[in-house]
């Protein structure tokens, strides 16, 4: 059954591409947008199952740029200002909850024997976070006016190709955040990071960032994107609630910090 038919049977009206206020509904405890432009998911190819060619990276960056533009113009601004998920917090919200997140990550590691190294790594990560925050307070204290509608989880696994076009889905982390954070997260994901556990292909990262700037026409400052990339790696390490995630994400943070700090 196609997606539109599913909506009809559920008694829900399908909104236009990129959503509309009346397509913002609560499902299983989550606020989500419903989209009608993928009418049959079986006829699509997930981007994570396809080679990440420069053309695909460029096209994906164009989709994200369009999403930011259309979202800021048309989406319901009564949307909660931040996502409730710890994995997509704004810099400001993350700073407020950082202590709880680091403590929870340490607790998860301490509950499993043989993970003493992970505990030490988390302490090193928290210390590095303190240095980043101290040296870049304006990034973490930005006003709500700096936030715009963002996807929150823009990565190859949440895009598909159909009839030669790219389409994006999985909007459960959509919120208002800094555009630079959304772009940094996406650029890292397309650079092969994958759940923030591998060394990035920096050439692909640079290609995505450059393509986004070109397609969006925005003056996305280099210093802001660098900080947003470090922030994404920090946020990822602080939400490592499985001990097996800690070391790969720490290595990623060191790689990112070495390149951008």
Kindly state whether residues 119 and 36 are assigned to the same domain: no
- Residue among 229, 184, 189 nearest 209 (CA): 184
Asked if residues 89 and 82 have their Cβ atoms less than 8 Å apart, the reply is yes
Over 50: is that where the pLDDT of 163 sits? Answer: yes
Kindly state whether residues 70 and 145 are assigned to the same domain: yes
pLDDT at residue 28 in the model? 52
Kindly state whether residues 127 and 29 are assigned to the same domain: no
Over 50: is that where the pLDDT of 6 sits? Answer: no
Which residue would you say has higher pLDDT here, 135 or 160?
135
Kindly state whether residues 103 and 189 are assigned to the same domain: yes
Across 236-261, average pLDDT: 91
Kindly state whether residues 71 and 39 are assigned to the same domain: no
CATH number of the structural domain spanning residue 228: 3.90.1200.10
Kindly state whether residues 167 and 222 are assigned to the same domain: yes
> Within 13 Å, how many C-alpha atoms sit on residue 232's CB side?
32
pLDDT at residue 146 in the model? 61
Kindly state whether residues 92 and 11 are assigned to the same domain: no
Kindly state whether residues 248 and 233 are assigned to the same domain: yes
Kindly state whether residues 6 and 52 are assigned to the same domain: no
Kindly state whether residues 115 and 3 are assigned to the same domain: no
Work out the percent of the chain whose per-residue pLDDT is above 90. Answer: 39
Q: CA 226, CA 218: separation in Å to the nearest integer?
A: 16
pLDDT at residue 4 in the model? 42
pLDDT at residue 19 in the model? 36
Q: Which of 10, 27, 43 is the last residue of a domain?
A: 43
pLDDT at residue 179 in the model? 92
Over the stretch 38-95, which tens digit does the pLDDT of each residue have?
A: 455 555 566 666 667 888 899 999 989 988 887 655 555 555 555 568 888 889 989 9
Over 50: is that where the pLDDT of 157 sits? Answer: yes
pLDDT at residue 127 in the model? 96
Over 90: is that where the pLDDT of 172 sits? Answer: no
Q: CA 176, CA 195: separation in Å to the nearest integer?
A: 22
Across 3-13, average pLDDT: 43
Count CB-CB contacts under 10 A for residue 1: 9
Domain coverage including residue 11: 1-43
Over the stretch 188-229, which tens digit does the pLDDT of each residue have?
A: 999 987 767 778 899 999 999 999 999 988 778 999 999 999
Which residue would you say has higher pLDDT here, 30 or 66?
66
Q: CA 105, CA 37: separation in Å to the nearest integer?
A: 39
Best-predicted range by mean pLDDT (74-78, 151-155, 170-174): 151-155
**Average pLDDT over all residues of the chain:** 78
- Residue among 241, 83, 105 nearest 150 (CA): 83
pLDDT at residue 7 in the model? 39
Q: Of 31-35, 116-120, 249-253, which gets the smallest average pLDDT?
A: 31-35
| Rounded-to-5 percentages of helix, strand, coil across the chain | 60, 10, 35
Over the stretch 126-137, which tens digit does the pLDDT of each residue have?
A: 999 999 999 998
Over 90: is that where the pLDDT of 177 sits? Answer: no
Kindly state whether residues 86 and 145 are assigned to the same domain: yes
pLDDT at residue 237 in the model? 94
Count CB-CB contacts under 10 A for residue 165: 11
Handedness of CA 203, 209, 211, 213 (dihedral sign): negative
Q: CA 230, CA 212: separation in Å to the nearest integer?
A: 18
Kindly state whether residues 69 and 21 are assigned to the same domain: no
Backbone angles phi, psi at 3, to 5 degrees: -65, -40
Q: What's the structural domain count of the chain?
A: 2
């Amino acid at each position: 059954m196609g997606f539109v038919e599913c909506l009809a049977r559920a008694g829900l009206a399908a909104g236009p591409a990129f959503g509309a206020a009346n397509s913002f509904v609560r499902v299983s405890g989550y606020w989500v947008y419903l989209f009608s432009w993928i009418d049959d998911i079986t006829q699509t190819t997930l981007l994570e199952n396809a080679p990440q060619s420069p053309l695909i990276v460029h096209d994906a960056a164009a989709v994200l740029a369009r999403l930011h533009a259309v979202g800021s113009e048309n989406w319901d601004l009564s949307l909660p200002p931040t996502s409730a998920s710890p994995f997509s917090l704004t810099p400001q919200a993350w700073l407020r909850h950082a202590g709880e997140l680091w403590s929870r990550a340490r607790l998860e590691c301490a509950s499993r024997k043989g993970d003493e190294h992970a505990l030490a790594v988390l302490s090193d990560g928290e210390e590095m976070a303190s240095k980043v925050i101290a040296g870049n307070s304006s990034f973490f204290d930005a006003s709500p006016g700096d936030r715009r509608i963002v996807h929150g989880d823009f990565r190859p696994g949440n895009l598909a190709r159909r009839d030669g076009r790219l389409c994006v889905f999985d909007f459960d982390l959509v919120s208002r955040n800094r555009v630079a954070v959304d772009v940094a997260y996406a650029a890292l994901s397309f650079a092969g990071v994958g759940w923030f556990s591998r060394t990035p292909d920096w050439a692909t990262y640079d290609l995505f960032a450059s393509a986004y700037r070109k397609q969006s026409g925005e003056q996305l400052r280099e210093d802001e994107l660098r900080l947003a990339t470090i922030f994404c790696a920090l946020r990822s390490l602080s939400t490592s609630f499985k001990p097996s995630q800690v070391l790969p994400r720490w290595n990623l943070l060191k790689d990112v910090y070495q390149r951008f700090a």
